[in-house]
Amino acid sequence: MKDKLLDIDNLKVNIDEKEILKGIDLQINSGEIHVIMGPNGGGKSTLAYTLMGHPKYEIVDGEIELEGEVINDLSPDKRAKKGIFLSFQYPEEIQGVTVEEFLRTAKTSVTGEMQKIIPFKRLLKEKMEELDMKEEYASRYLNLGFSGGEKKKNEILQMSVLEPKLAILDETDSGLDVDAIKIVAEGVNRFKNEERAILVITHYNKLLDYLKPDYVHILMDGKIVKTGGIELAEEVDKNGYENIKAEVSSMK
């Protein structure tokens, strides 16, 4: 049997008193790739931020369990130490901190082990080569002046260096050219193993062509309204969300 990594039960989340997530149930086992699709404003990023523990998102009901432990009240850094990673839809720029410094500090913090400069440099170089990133990016300030695609690749670099148990990728494929999507997908596939799971939020099928997800969920108006396999993503690609919307409202 696979190990249950994440168990979300009836999760309701408010932002500024407004209910955004209206009862999310989702179970993710180690070794699985889950995809969340859905119309703009449905609550996908809200779910991602809530899982990471962003203080703006108020859990008003329900539970988030990671490996059997309720993590509702844990701070983002504690969640990171427990193995959750979020790749942001809109990565931040940080002046004065290089990619290498940032990643070495983050890795030290997440693992609790001091990362020595030379071995870390070697690790970073290897991971950057895998992602077809030029070495010079290691000494550039984090995301500063990076193109949209470069920022996204940098997020995948973070994931491969930090080696989380649960990687949440919020639209990491958007804005990437076709070659970069392939490189990112290869990065994700290399990262995937029996102990890790990946939650991919996306609007496009291109990435899914390479990823072979186990489940595809449709999140709409704060709820997961449908779950299926890759065929669900194909249906959305072909017909948009109209059929699913009609199905949902006929069930009400």
Ligand X SMILES: Nc1ncnc2c1ncn2[C@@H]1O[C@H](COP(=O)(O)OP(=O)(O)OP(=O)(O)O)[C@@H](O)[C@H]1O
Considering the rule CB under 6 A, would residue 152 count as an interface residue with ligand X?
no
Q: How many residues comprise the chain?
A: 252
Stretch that binds ligand X, among 12-20, 22-30, 63-71, 183-191 (CB under 6 A): 12-20
Stretch that binds ligand X, among 39-47, 90-98, 106-114, 181-189 (CB under 6 A): 39-47
DSSP string across 61-75: EEEEEETTEE-TT--
Q: How far is the CB of 175 from ligand X (least distance, A)?
A: 13
Main-chain phi, psi angles of 152, to 5 degrees = -65, -40
Q: Which is nearer to Mg ion, 88 or 102 (CB)?
A: 88
Considering the rule CB under 5 A, would residue 87 count as an interface residue with Mg ion?
no
- Is residue 230 a contact partner of residue 216, using CB atoms and an 8 Å limit? yes
- Is residue 148 a contact partner of residue 175, using CB atoms and an 8 Å limit? yes
Considering the rule CB under 6 A, would residue 15 count as an interface residue with ligand X?
yes
CA separation, residue 77 to residues 6, 169, 197 (Å):
17, 18, 19
- The whole-angstrom separation of Cα 223 and Cα 245 is 12
Q: How far is the CB of 18 from ligand X (least distance, A)?
A: 5
CA separation, residue 97 to residues 132, 141, 226, 251 (Å):
22, 5, 42, 52
Stretch that binds ligand X, among 38-46, 144-152, 184-192, 207-215 (CB under 6 A): 38-46
Considering the rule CB under 6 A, would residue 44 count as an interface residue with ligand X?
yes
Which single residue brings its beta carbon nearest to Mg ion?
45
Q: Helix, strand or coil for residue 245?
A: helix
State which of positions 202-221 bind Mg ion (CB under 5 A): none
CA separation, residue 203 to residues 145, 173, 175 (Å):
25, 9, 11
Helix intervals (H) in 35-147: 44-52, 76-81, 99-111, 117-130
With CB under 6 A as the contact rule, the residue among 42, 149, 164, 213 that binds ligand X is: 42
Considering the rule CB under 5 A, would residue 45 count as an interface residue with Mg ion?
yes
Q: How far is the CB of 77 from ligand X (least distance, A)?
A: 22
Considering the rule CB under 5 A, would residue 50 count as an interface residue with Mg ion?
no
Q: How far is the CB of 115 from ligand X (least distance, A)?
A: 33
Considering the rule CB under 6 A, would residue 79 count as an interface residue with ligand X?
no
- The whole-angstrom separation of Cα 206 and Cα 7 is 28
Q: Which is nearer to ligand X, 49 or 146 (CB)?
A: 49
Considering the rule CB under 6 A, would residue 20 count as an interface residue with ligand X?
yes
Q: Which residues bind Mg ion (CB under 5 A)?
A: 44-45, 89
Q: Which residues bind ligand X (CB under 6 A)?
A: 15-16, 18, 20, 38, 40-46, 89
